[in-house]
Every structure is written in structure tokens, then in C-alpha cells.
């Protein structure tokens, strides 16, 4: 019995490391949209390709259409009003966006980076 417990523990540990639960999606282009599915919180990192003023927004999708849901968005830990953040990107810098919703009554929780 003891001989099989160790390989099972190693396999479970490896599976936990390979799981995408702690993964963060990356956006590297202006105009890109990333969605995290039916989740309460979705984290995206944006690697700025250029230095320019940009805007990030969070939205909920139902059947691939934007739905009117209460979504919050934060940029590097600072809350943004109306799920929309305006910021000046610096080339090569990474920005962290967190979209959140109290209730999961949508199909996708998304973050998009665009020009204002």
C-alpha cells in the first residue's frame, strides 16, 4: 500500500502544477480581446508594444453578444470606473488587469485593449 501512495502523490502534484487555474492570459496587441469563460474573476496582463494612450474595458458576453452586467475592472490594483480604464502605456511595460463580477450570469468575462 505504501509503495503506491508515493507515485500517486507525485502524479497529483504534477497535475496541480500543470493546471491552468493560476494561469494569467497575455495580451500583446492593441485591439485584442481575451475572454476567461464563466468566471467571477479574470486576470489579463498586457505587454505594451508601443508608448501611447490606451483604454482597457471589461465586458460580459452572452451568446457572443455584449450583455449589460455589472463588471468591475482594476488596473495594477487600482479600481477603474464603469469597467473602463484610460492609461498611458509605455513600450515594453506590463500592465495587470483584473475583471470581476459578483454573479456569473454570462457566458464569457472579457478584457479588451483599444485606442481611445
Strand (E) or helix (H) holding 58: strand 52-62
Calculate the average pLDDT of the chain: 86
CA 98-104-108 angle, 5° bins = 65
Whether 103 has a pLDDT exceeding 80, the answer reads yes
Q: What is the pLDDT of residue 23?
A: 76
Q: Are 22 and 53 in contact (CB under 8 A)?
A: no
Element (H, E) at 87: strand 84-89
Residue 112: pLDDT band by 50, 70, 90 thresholds? very high
Provide, rounded to the nearest whole percent, the portion of the chain with pLDDT above 70: 81
What ranges do the domains of the chain cover? 23-114
Grade residue 104 by pLDDT with cuts at 50, 70 and 90: very high
Strand order in the sheet with 41-47: 25-27, 41-47, 94-100, 72-75, 78-80
Return the SS3 of 81. Answer: helix
Q: How does residue 17 score in pLDDT terms, banded at 50, 70 and 90?
A: very low
pTM of the model: 0.78
Contact partners, residue 62, CB within 8 Å, separation at least 6: 106, 107
pLDDT for res 64: 92
Q: How far apart are CA 52 and CA 7, in angstroms?
A: 52
pLDDT at 4: 53
Fold of 23-114: Jelly Rolls (2.60.120)
Amino acid at each position: 500500500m505504501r509503495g503506491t501512495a508515493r507515485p500517486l502523490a507525485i502524479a497529483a502534484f504534477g497535475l496541480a502544477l500543470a493546471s491552468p487555474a493560476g494561469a494569467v492570459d497575455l495580451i500583446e496587441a492593441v485591439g485584442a480581446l481575451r475572454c476567461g469563460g464563466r468566471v467571477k474573476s479574470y486576470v489579463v496582463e498586457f505587454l505594451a508594444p508601443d508608448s501611447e494612450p490606451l483604454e482597457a474595458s471589461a465586458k460580459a458576453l452572452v451568446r457572443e453578444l455584449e450583455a449589460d452586467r455589472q463588471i468591475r475592472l482594476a488596473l495594477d490594483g487600482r479600481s477603474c470606473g464603469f469597467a473602463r480604464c484610460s492609461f498611458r502605456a509605455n513600450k515594453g511595460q506590463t500592465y495587470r488587469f483584473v475583471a470581476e463580477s459578483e454573479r456569473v450570469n454570462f457566458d464569457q468575462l472579457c478584457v479588451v485593449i483599444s485606442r481611445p
